[in-house]
Structure formats: structure tokens, C-alpha cells
Structure 1
Amino acid sequence: MQPNADLSTRDTILHLLKTNDELTAKELTDRLDITSIAVRRHIDALERDGLIEPRTIRQPMGRPTAAYHLTERADELFPKKYNTVALDLLGELAKESGENKVERLFELRKETLYKKYAGMMEDKDFPDKVSALADIQNENGYMVELQQNSENEYVLIEHNCPISQLAHQYNHACRCELRLFESLLDADISCPECLTKGGKKCVYRIRRRDPQS
């Protein structure tokens, strides 16, 4: 589900909630070119369909308000490029040859992806490398948001994980992805929030390496 002019209002609301964690009816109205009554109709329908849920927010003054977020059912509407067969096969491999063989497969995948994308980083300065990585991840369905803190520091946010089920079962997939990013960008990267560890998104803090280090 991508943000574009062809989306219905219903899908646009789902996309906004996916990329903002939660929003009130007023915040949705402010972002959509429709009336508050129309927004309320869509919210009611999405609640009935089990796609969104409200959270009551107490105000210092006045009546409480509701902020809406997606349910697990709604999350299935977004890109997921995993296959249960892959999980089954990895499980069989782990039983037959041990977990280290599964980890080796993820290492091989990292090496393959590095060979695939390293050429795209050649002759680019650091900001362009980070931008190219964001484009790569967007093309692969990660719904990336890129923020710049300074000339040498960026935050890359992945609102969706197409391999979330694999990563939940095999955390080595996440470690390999982080090391892939470090190699492609020649950067120091940390991951303070991760979907597989209970986060609402995957957050990568990217800092250009000091050439002296």
C-alpha cells in the first residue's frame, strides 16, 4: 500500500496511521481534503471492520479525545514478502544441520545484497549514499522515512518489514541487515527501535565514520 493519488480515502487513512503510529480525528481531517463528518464516517467503518482501534487521551482541560492506531489485522494489508514455506524450510534446515547453518544463509544473503547494491554507492558522497539506501529499501517494501539530523547524521525509519515473520524467528536477519547498511554506507549505525523487539517501527541511526578512526 503506497501513498499516491490513486488511493481511496479509506486507504489513505490506513497509510497515515501506519506512518504516524496514531492520529486523532482532527489530525486526520487536517491532512485530508474532506470534512470532519466524512472522516468520522470512515473511522466508524474502519473500527467496525476491525482495522483500527481508539486510545483515550486525557486532556488537561476539556473532554478526553481519541487517538486511532492500526490493529494487527490491518497490518496484514501492507507489503509482506515472506512465505510460510521459507519458514518451514529454515526450520527443517535448523533441525537437520543446526541454527548455525541458518545463520550462514543470512550471511550469504547479506553478501549477495552487498554485491547487488555496492555499485549504486560508487562515486556518491555520504548524503547521496544514505538517500540511495532509502530508495532501495522503499523499492523493497519497507516504507522508509528519512530524517537528517546533521551533515553527518541521519535517521532511517522503516515503517514496514516485509520479512517480519522471518526476523521474529531468526534475529540474525536483523543483525545482517544492520551490517549490510554499515558496509554500503561506510557508517556507524545503531538500531534503538526494532519491530522484532516490540517496537512500532525499525529505526536506524546512521553516522558517517570519522576517516581518522
Structure 2
Amino acid sequence: MKDDLDLSTRNRIMQMLKTSGELTAKEITDQLGITGMAVRRHIANLERDSLIESTTVRLPMGRPAAVYRLAAQAEEYFPKNYHAVALDLLAELEDEAGQSMVNLLFEKRKETLYKRYAGKMADSELEHKVAALSDIQNDNGYMTTWEKTSDDAYVLTEYNCPIAQVANKYNQACACELKLFESLLGATVSRSDCLASGDRKCVYHIRRS
């Protein structure tokens, strides 16, 4: 129960800073109605987790005080609706220019990603390329693992899809990812499981061409 209360108070502090911009520890204490010691403990934990940051300012009366505000990393804790915006834009594009233009957009995205990551695939060893691709996908939020299954075969697994809502409606996203992997790895790639199709993960089977 105490952990739930701590989490609730922590969230309230972050919401207060989100709406107010900057607050002192005293202002936070007054608004929450809890002890100053408890507020300082929450502030210390939030600073430790890089969710808030502070600067010292001079006040009209008394000693300088620390003013707290949200750090950039804290934005991840607030609701985002990017997928809905992306789906609306794709639907508008499809209505205005047709399905072929949507397909072209996904192809352009594939080309952009290839140019961005091809340099990390310069190593001629397929195993090193698979490892690099796994790191890239992890950095992009796909929760990726990989394993070697034989001398010339590998399996790369993604347990999360940051663009799942888009991929669920536009299977071009999945098709382009498969082509991107083939281009980056210079290998034959097939997919046996797909999150967008209702599976628990995306599983890519990679074999030396």
C-alpha cells in the first residue's frame, strides 16, 4: 500500500510540474498537504531517476531556493496519441491520392531508414550485422533479441512494436520492414510470426544468401 501511495504522490508532483512549469519544494508541499520531509524524499527520488531537474533562484525574501521542473525524460510518462495522428494523416493521404501514394510513402520511409543505418552494417560478417540490427531495433523500442541457430542461420525476435496501431491497418509497414532487413543484412529474411497479425512477437528467420 505504501508503494502505491508513493507512486501516486510521485505522479501528482509530476502532473503539478507539467501544468505549473516550475515549483519550489514549499509550493509543492503546500499543494500536496503532506510534510516537507516527505516532499523532499519524493524530489530526491525523481531527481535520481532523471525525471526532474532544478535551478537555484533568488527570492524577494529570504535565502535562495531550488526551483524544480520536469526533465526531458519525464515526457515519456505523459499520454501521447502519435499513432492516432499518424493514422489520420495516412487516411487523409489515401483519400486524396489513393493507395499507391500510401505505398510510396512506406517505400520512402524504408529508403530513409536504410540510408540511416547502412553504415552500421559495413562489417562483412552476417553475425555482426544481425547483432547490429538487434541493437538498432532495441534503441527504437522493439525489445529485440537474436540467436544463432546454425552456421549460416539466425533468428531475430521483436517482442514489441512501437508502430503496432499503424501496422495493424497498413500491412505495408510490415512488408517494408522485411525488405529493409534484407537490404541491411544482405541476406534472405522471412517472417514466421507477426505482432500485427495477432502473434505475441515478430520472428525473423535470417539465412546467408
Q: Does TM, normalized by the shorter one, top 0.5? A: yes
C-alpha displacement at 1:124, in angstroms?
A: 3.8
2:81 and 2:153 map into 1 onto residues whose CA distance is 30
C-alpha displacement at 1:120, in angstroms?
A: 0.7
C-alpha displacement at 1:200, in angstroms?
A: 0.8
Match status 1:119 vs 2:95: no
Could you tell me the percent identity over the aligned residues? Answer: 58
- CA deviations on 1:132-180 (whole Å, 9 max, x unpaired) are 0000000000000112101211111100000000001100010000000
The aligned runs of 1:88-167 (5 Å cut-off) are 88-167=88-167
- State whether residues 81 and 163 of structure 1, in contact with CA within 8 Å, keep that contact through their aligned partners in structure 2: no
Q: Which runs of 5+ in 1 are unaligned?
A: 1-76
1:129 and 1:82 map into 2 onto residues whose CA distance is 31
C-alpha displacement at 1:84, in angstroms?
A: 1.1
* RMSD, aligned CA: 1.6
Q: TM-score, normalised by structure 1?
A: 0.59
Q: Tell me the secondary structure at the aligned position of residue 147 of structure 1.
A: strand
Runs of 4+ with >2 A deviation? 80-83
- Cα distance, 1:198–1:107 mapped onto 2, change above 3 Å: same
| Count of residue correspondences | 131
2:163 and 2:83 map into 1 onto residues whose CA distance is 9
- Cα distance, 1:81–1:178 mapped onto 2, change above 3 Å: farther
| Aligned-partner residue type, residue 105 of structure 2 | L
Match status 1:179 vs 2:186: no
Name 2:199's counterpart in structure 1.
199
| Aligned-partner residue type, residue 99 of structure 1 | Q
1:90 and 1:154 map into 2 onto residues whose CA distance is 34
Q: Tell me the secondary structure at the aligned position of residue 142 of structure 1.
A: coil
Q: Tell me the secondary structure at the aligned position of residue 155 of structure 2.
A: strand
Q: Which has the larger radius of gyration?
A: 2
- CA deviations on 1:79-130 (whole Å, 9 max, x unpaired) are x994211110100000111111111100000000000000111134111000
- State whether residues 123 and 129 of structure 2, in contact with CA within 8 Å, keep that contact through their aligned partners in structure 1: no
- State whether residues 82 and 163 of structure 1, in contact with CA within 8 Å, keep that contact through their aligned partners in structure 2: no
1:123 and 1:130 map into 2 onto residues whose CA distance is 10
Q: Tell me the secondary structure at the aligned position of residue 204 of structure 1.
A: strand
- Cα distance, 1:135–1:127 mapped onto 2, change above 3 Å: same
Q: Tell me the secondary structure at the aligned position of residue 114 of structure 1.
A: helix
Q: Please state which structure has a larger fraction of its residues in helix.
A: 2
- State whether residues 153 and 208 of structure 1, in contact with CA within 8 Å, keep that contact through their aligned partners in structure 2: yes
2:164 and 2:149 map into 1 onto residues whose CA distance is 27
